[in-house]
Structure 1
């Protein structure tokens, strides 16, 4: 296992252990930032997660949201806001959140832990 993978896995575990059920993302984000993760990018609907660190870059495969050729949903701001609010309220699991933002037309998102920016990419 590389140093980058070890750092990311430890940070993810720490973030999940200390995060609250409601509005838990900041806890996870801070654990990743403290561990040296600079960027986290999620590619939907394959759910590949790319982590860039000062020790290297790592991609994690996850369960895909779709398994056949599928039209990309048209961007829907109201659905995105609903997905974000439901996640912040602790009403969804992370896989449910990913499915909800995909249904809102999000195809990729990037969190920059250095500049504290979030970039949504949609069709």
Structure 2
């Protein structure tokens, strides 16, 4: 089965092939911005935060734990997003050409991971 393990590289490759150059996620608002050469698209999910809230401090170890649990298929996407927020992530950016995902804290701290190239079935 081609999606055994971490399905994210397959999703990202599907987006790249559809013309998405970047996928930007605003974590507290749970909103995606897909950047394409044909126009940009926003997808609004259920916000994690409404009104005023204190942004958690950047926690690299907490973020990596959330990433590894998600990559192992141990969490749902909403659980992963909540894990990012708990780790102080306010936004992340997927660059489909460079095959990277960079996570940002409110204070400007960041963490970047590469993801593997894959061939879609």
TM-score range, shorter chain: 0.7 to 0.9
The alignment status of 1:31 with 2:14, answered yes or no, reads yes
Larger relative contact order, structure 1 or 2 (CA cutoff 8 Å, min sep 6)? 2
CA contact (8 A) 1:112 1:118 kept: yes
Map 1:1-123 → 2, pairs under 5 A: 20=3, 22-123=5-106
Query: Secondary structure at the residue paired with 1:90?
Result: coil
| Bigger share in helix | 1
Gaps of 5+ in 1: 1-17
CA RMSD of aligned residues (A): 1.5
Residues in 1 aligned to 2:77 and 2:2: alpha-carbon distance in whole angstroms: 13
TM-score of the superposition, structure 2-length normalised? 0.82
Q: How many corresponding residue pairs?
A: 106
d(CA) in 2 for partners of 1:97 and 1:65? 12
Of stretches 59-68 and 92-101 in structure 1, the one that deviates more from structure 2 is 59-68
TM-score by length of 1: 0.80
Q: Please list every run of 5 or more consecutive structure 2 residues that lacks an aligned counterpart in the other structure.
A: 107-121
